[in-house]
Amino acid sequence: MSDAALKRCDEVGSSKHPLKDVKFSYGTAGFRTKANTLDPIMYRVGLMAALRSVKFKGQYIGVMVTASHNPVCDNGVKIVDPYGDMMEEKWESYATTLANAPNGELAATLQDIAKALDLNLEDISKAKVIYGYDTRPSCPELVASLVDGFNAIGVEVCKDLGVVTTPQLHFVTRCLNDPSYGEATLEGYYRKIAEAFKKIQGPGKGPEVVLDGANGVGAPRTNDFKKYVGKAFNVTIVNDASHKDDVLNDSCGADFVKVQQKAPNNVTPTHGVHYVSFDGDADRVMYYFFDKDMKFHMLDGDKIATLIGGYLAELVKDAGHSLNLGVVQTAYANGSSTAYLENEMKVPIACTPTGVKHLHHAAKDFDIGVYFEANGHGTVIFDSKVEKKIRDTDASKLSASQQEKHALLLNVIDLINQTVGDALSDALMVEVVLKQKNWTCEDWDACYTDLPNRQLKVSVKDRTAVQVTNAERQTTAPAGLQEAVDEAVAKYSKGRSFVRPSGTEDVVRVYAEAETRELCDQLAYEVAQITHRIAGGIGEAPSQ
Ligand SMILES: CC(=O)N[C@H]1[C@@H](OP(=O)(O)O)O[C@H](CO)[C@@H](O)[C@@H]1O
Ligand SMILES: [Mg+2]
């Protein structure tokens, strides 16, 4: 990269995308904040992604523009590594440094970062990037700033994947760098998943599924998928942004269902139907159903993890393989799900801090790692050597029933998007397991009963003052907070509660569970008030 090109990065940055006085930080979900402050960050992420591609000797780096389940006025951007993983954590602080570099100091900061990482800026000319974005109205302008970044730094290739789900961007990024994973197009994505699903489910019509698209990108992309999958996935899409008053994530979507513990708008309760909600970028999924009395029952990420994990453990064994399957959860996993995994399924469990990158990483410690956040974000990953061993198995040496299960397992592997949580692929996987087990949603729900739980938000002066340890289950600062929480929890039967700063919103989150709904709510508010008092709460303390 010439001095002239470096100078151009600075000039375009200062003149077209000047940084105003806002501090940005690359967190759990990349950069995420109010869309109208993001312009300079998009430009700088363009520069950063190019640098990241240099690190991988010109492999494709993905960039996704979305704020997922957050309100429509927010937006965000995250960088995807060549194999579809989230960007390596070590680079997050470099991304933060570049994002906050003063106007006119971009070239010098780029040089510093390249030096610290031992990268040659001359290689930028070989950098390749691919980007996608959700349906937010702020996307076109923000994407233009991102592309300005790519152009200013002089990447070799810059591909526009268009309006896509986050998992589609991860999938295509992976395929561009590893064609053995699939064809690097949206069509390749639809075909791979649809073919696997149809082979497993057979020609018959599947059970009725009503899908809440959160008025986001999951709706049109699932609609596209329907052309490939046919009637095996018998889905009707609601909340597809087709009415003029439809607002992204407003009274709908996976986060609404999980947090409010109720059905979204525009869903007519019918017994026997499978209900599914995606979030705004379709990397999270929630299931729910209405029983005979039309009572709502939620089947969240924990229930999905136990369903898929339990099924895979059996399938692998029945196919004649002996593999180590583990489940990764976070502190938000319902205590009943953890007990069920430990006592009934007897599988190893790992607990990590919130955020998919942590779960994904921990899942790699198993031959088959099943990871889900309670909010429905997750997938299954197969260790690459284990997957190869499965694929290379000489099926003729297996018994007839093992051969059948082995063939099924191969299709199941193709159905799963191993790059990242994928609402569509996860929902199809749930449908597969329910059909294989001949289960209704009631049967699935009966595996264990969730402890009543509640999440609250507390506004504080400075959320970084709350520091955590032990996979975010305990606080180490401010002084006295953990002791006060422990004291409160001890009063409640089956009580559990923790406090942690959000990585995506300017709040501190409180989680509580207890034996009954009433006790749980009491505990949640008690801990929220403690947090407000000890951790510098602003405004009114939360009250019931
Ligand atoms: C309690 C909760 O749902 N937290 C979410 C939320 O993170 P916070 O750090 O809690 O704001 O957004 C993350 C990104 O989408 C997601 O991974 C995570 O599970
Ligand atoms: Mg999401």
- CA-proximal residue: ligand 1, atom 16 (nearest): 355
Q: Does residue 156 carry a pLDDT above 90?
A: yes
> Per the structure block, which two tokens stand in for 81?
């590594």
pLDDT at 361: 94
Number of C-beta neighbours around residue 543 at 10 A: 8
Share of the chain above pLDDT 70, in %: 100
Rg (CA), the chain: 23
What is the whole-number distance in angstroms between the Cα of residue 503 and the centre of ligand 1? 7
Query: End-to-end CA distance of the chain, in Å?
Result: 59
> Do the annotations mark residue 224 as ligand-binding?
no
pLDDT at 22: 82
> Do the annotations mark residue 281 as ligand-binding?
yes
The ligand 1 atom nearest the CA atom of 500? 10
How does residue 169 score in pLDDT terms, banded at 50, 70 and 90? Answer: very high
Do residues 385 and 393 touch, judged by C-beta distance below 8 A? no
> Do the annotations mark residue 30 as ligand-binding?
no
pLDDT tens figures, 66-89? 999 999 999 999 999 999 999 999
pLDDT at 226: 97
Residues carrying CATH 3.40.120.10, the chain: 3-163, 186-299, 301-421
> Do the annotations mark residue 212 as ligand-binding?
no
**What average pLDDT does the chain have?**
96
Q: Please give the CATH number for the structural domain made up of 453-534.
A: 3.30.310.50
**DSSP code per residue over 76-107:** EEEEE-TTSPBPPGGGHHHHHHHHTPPTT-HH
Give me the helix-helix angle, 139-153 and 3-16, nearest 10°: 160
pLDDT at 209: 98
In this prediction, residues 306-317 reach a mean pLDDT of 96
**Residue 187 is which amino acid?**
E
- CA-proximal residue: ligand 1, atom 15 (nearest): 29
What is the whole-number distance in angstroms between the Cα of residue 165 and the centre of ligand 2? 9
Query: From start to end of 194-246, where are the E strands?
Result: 209-212, 235-238
What is the whole-number distance in angstroms between the Cα of residue 67 and the centre of ligand 1? 11
In angstroms, the CA 189 to CA 282 distance is: 14
Ligand nearest to the CA of 373: 1
How does residue 277 score in pLDDT terms, banded at 50, 70 and 90? Answer: very high
Query: Ligand 1: which residues within 6 Å by Cβ?
Result: 28-29, 68, 332, 354-356, 373, 375, 377, 502-505, 509
Do residues 132 and 163 touch, judged by C-beta distance below 8 A? yes
- Tell me, rounded to whole angstroms, the distance of Cα 325 from its chain centroid: 21
Share of the chain above pLDDT 90, in %: 96
In this prediction, residues 312-340 reach a mean pLDDT of 96
Q: What order of strands is seen across the sheet that includes strand 285-290? A: 235-238, 209-212, 274-278, 285-290, 296-299
DSSP 8-state secondary structure symbol assigned to residue 376: S
Q: Does residue 2 carry a pLDDT above 90?
A: no
The ligand 1 atom nearest the CA atom of 509? 10
Q: Which of 255, 356, 375, 513 to mutate to test the pocket of ligand 1 (most atoms within 8 A of CB)?
A: 375
What is the whole-number distance in angstroms between the Cα of residue 375 and the centre of ligand 1? 8
Q: Does residue 1 carry a pLDDT above 90?
A: no
pLDDT at 307: 97
How does residue 308 score in pLDDT terms, banded at 50, 70 and 90? Answer: very high
Q: Which of 260, 354, 466 to mutate to test the pocket of ligand 1 (most atoms within 8 A of CB)?
A: 354
Which strand (E) or helix (H) includes residue 166?
Answer: helix 166-177
pLDDT tens figures, 437-482? 999 999 999 999 999 999 999 999 999 999 999 999 999 999 999 9
pLDDT tens figures, 387-446? 999 999 999 999 999 999 999 999 999 999 999 999 999 999 999 999 999 999 999 999
Decide yes or no: CATH 3.40.120.10 for domain 186-299.
Answer: yes
- CA-proximal residue: ligand 1, atom 9 (nearest): 503
pTM of the model: 0.96
How does residue 509 score in pLDDT terms, banded at 50, 70 and 90? Answer: very high
* CATH fold for domain 3-163: Alpha-D-Glucose-1,6-Bisphosphate; Chain A, domain 3 (3.40.120)
In this prediction, residues 223-250 reach a mean pLDDT of 96
In angstroms, the CA 183 to CA 59 distance is: 16
ipTM: 0.98
pLDDT tens figures, 3-35? 888 899 999 999 999 999 888 999 888 999 999
* β-pair partners for 65: 77, 133
Q: Please give the CATH number for the structural domain made up of 301-421.
A: 3.40.120.10
